[in-house]
Amino acid sequence: MNITTLITLCILVFIDLCIIPLVYSELYSYVTCGSVIKLLNNHLKVRLHSHEVKYGSGSGQQSVTAIEDHDDVNSHWVIKGKSGKMCKRGEPITCGTIIRLEHLATQKNLHSHHFPSPLSSNQEVSAFGENGEGDTGDHWTVTCSSDYWERNGLVRFKHADTDMWLGVPGNTYGRPISGQKEVAAVLYSDSGCYWKTSEGVFIKPSELSIPTIAHVHTEL
pLDDT at 77: 98
In angstroms, the Cα distances linking 65 to 12, 51, 105 are: 20, 9, 15
d(CA 206, CA 214): 11
- Among residues 215, 216, 179, the alpha carbon closest in space to that of 199 is found at 216
SS3 assignment, position 30: strand
Per residue of the chain (220 residues), give pLDDT as tens: 666 655 555 555 444 433 333 334 445 789 999 999 999 999 999 999 999 999 999 999 999 999 999 999 999 999 999 998 888 999 999 999 999 999 999 999 999 999 999 999 999 999 999 999 999 999 999 999 999 999 999 999 999 999 999 999 999 999 889 999 999 999 999 999 999 999 889 888 654 444 443 444 443 3
pLDDT at 211: 43
Separation between Cα atoms, residue 96 and residue 188, nearest integer Å: 18
Q: Which residues are CB-contacts of 144 (< 8 A; sequence separation ≥ 6)?
A: 95, 150, 153, 154, 155, 156
Per-residue model confidence (pLDDT) at position 202? 87
Q: Are 184 and 125 in contact (CB under 8 A)?
A: yes
Contacts of 60 (CB under 8 A, 6+ apart): 54
Give 163's contacts (C-beta < 8 A, 6+ positions apart). none
Q: What is the pTM of this model?
A: 0.83
Please give the angle made by the CA atoms of 88, 91 and 97, to the nearest 5 degrees. 85
